[in-house]
């Protein structure tokens, strides 16, 4: 399991998010505190509507919190207001996204689906393609670099999507149900890849999941219920879930 350093890559302090006003007000997140350190993979669980995706989007600087403080890779990016003018660039530089479905561009092959992110970041074509192929090799799908998405298996497509998320060497990787469409064997393979990435790149990885079969792949597991966060070491939470079950 990942060994924390002194400085978290993700730090969320007293973060709250509300929608609406008056009788229509919904407290989606309530006084959230969370730290994720280099080399750690943490799970974020909870029933539908508990605030998991809202929290992920606040950390990703997609959704503006109502209050609190967010620090990413040592830089305070939100403190009662956004402190960065170009949030798109911030996301491109610091954050990699992995979704439930790969969402690969159907008209691009494996390597180009990865290289397109580097193109958006301003890298020229040759080094972008070299980086893309290196990542596909790292994730053991280099032999599929010329395959179109429709020619890939579900597991292969998800690996290409993970390579795309790693393209800009982000310190933070946010994954929203990345194993949901996969069988249990492929789900564990994907989680093992994320664990290796966390350690190799000293990244902080947050995974939203409902899949109790992969809980032993996490360092810590946090649960959201009615917008409030609780959690602890994965072994403790898994034991508690087993007792409740």
- Where residue 211 falls among pLDDT bands split at 50, 70, 90? confident
The whole-angstrom separation of Cα 89 and Cα 86 is 6
- Contact 133/113 with Cβ under 8 angstroms? no
Tell me whether residue 150 is exposed, middle or buried, using C-beta atoms within 10 angstroms of its C-beta: 0 to 12, 13 to 18, 19 or more. exposed
Q: Residue 164 burial (CB < 10 Å; 0-12/13-18/19+)? A: buried
Of residues 231 and 197, which shows the higher confidence score?
A: 197
Q: Which of the given ranges, 8-12, 21-25, 119-123, 240-244, has the highest pLDDT on average?
A: 8-12
Q: What is the pLDDT of residue 126?
A: 93
Q: What is the mean pLDDT of residues 52-67?
A: 95
Confidence of residue 186 (pLDDT cuts 50, 70, 90): confident
Contacting residues for 55 by C-beta, under 8 A, at least 6 apart: 12, 15, 17, 29, 32, 34, 44, 224, 229
Q: What is the DSSP letter of 74?
A: T
pLDDT of residue 235: 63
For residue 161, pLDDT over 60 is answered with yes
Q: Residue 104: which pLDDT band, with cuts at 50, 70 and 90? A: very high
Region 128-136: mean pLDDT is 94
- Mean pLDDT, the chain, integer: 90
In the structure, what pLDDT confidence band is assigned to residue 216 with cuts at 50, 70 and 90? confident
**Rounded mean pLDDT, 163-192:** 88
Q: How confident is the model at residue 129 (pLDDT cuts 50, 70, 90)?
A: very high
Report whether 148 contacts 111 (CB < 8 A): no
What average pLDDT score do residues 81-91 get? 92
110 has a pLDDT exceeding 70: yes
Nearest Cα neighbor of 93 from 5, 204, 170, 23 is: 170
Is residue 70 very low, low, confident or very high in pLDDT (cuts 50, 70, 90)?
A: very high
pLDDT of residue 1 exceeding 90: no
- Are the CB atoms for 16 and 67 separated by under 8 Å? yes
Take residue 45 and report the two structure tokens written for it: 């669980």
Q: What is the pLDDT of residue 237?
A: 63
Domains of the chain, CATH where assigned: 10-106+172-244 (3.40.50.300)
Q: What is the mean pLDDT of residues 215-228?
A: 91
Q: Where are the alpha helices (DSSP H) in 100-169?
A: 110-120, 125-138, 154-166
Residue 185, pLDDT score: 84
What is the distance between the alpha carbons of residues 28 and 25, in angstroms, rounded to a whole number?
Answer: 9
Beta partners for 17? Answer: 29
Q: Taking 90 as the threshold, does the pLDDT of residue 244 lie above it? A: no
Better-scored residue on pLDDT, 152 or 212: 152
Q: How far are the Cα atoms of 27, 51, 167 from residue 19, in angstroms, in the given order?
A: 7, 12, 34
């Amino acid at each position: 399991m990942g060994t924390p350093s002194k400085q978290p890559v993700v730090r969320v302090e007293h973060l709250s998010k509300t929608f609406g006003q008056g009788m229509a007000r919904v407290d989606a997140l309530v006084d959230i505190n969370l730290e994720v350190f280099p080399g750690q993979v943490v799970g974020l669980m909870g029933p539908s509507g508990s605030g998991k995706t809202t929290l992920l989007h606040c950390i990703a600087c997609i959704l503006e919190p109502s209050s609190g403080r967010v620090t990413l890779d040592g830089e305070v990016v939100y403190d009662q207001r956004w402190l960065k003018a170009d949030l798109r660039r911030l996301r491109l530089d610091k954050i990699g996204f992995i979704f439930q479905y790969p969402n690969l561009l159907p008209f691009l092959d494996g390597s180009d689906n990865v290289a397109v992110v580097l193109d958006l970041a301003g890298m020229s074509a040759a080094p972008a393609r070299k980086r893309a192929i290196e990542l596909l090799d790292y994730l053991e799908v280099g032999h599929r670099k010329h395959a179109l998405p429709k020619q890939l298996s579900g597991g292969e497509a998800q690996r290409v999507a993970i390579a795309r998320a790693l393209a800009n060497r982000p310190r933070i990787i946010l994954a929203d149900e990345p194993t949901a469409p996969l069988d249990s064997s492929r789900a564990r393979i994907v989680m093992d890849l994320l664990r290796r990435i966390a350690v190799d790149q000293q990244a902080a990885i947050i995974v939203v999941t409902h899949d109790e079969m992969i809980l032993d792949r996490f360092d810590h597991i946090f649960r959201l219920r009615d917008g409030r966060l609780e959690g602890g070491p994965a072994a403790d939470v898994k034991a508690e879930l087993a007792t409740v079950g």
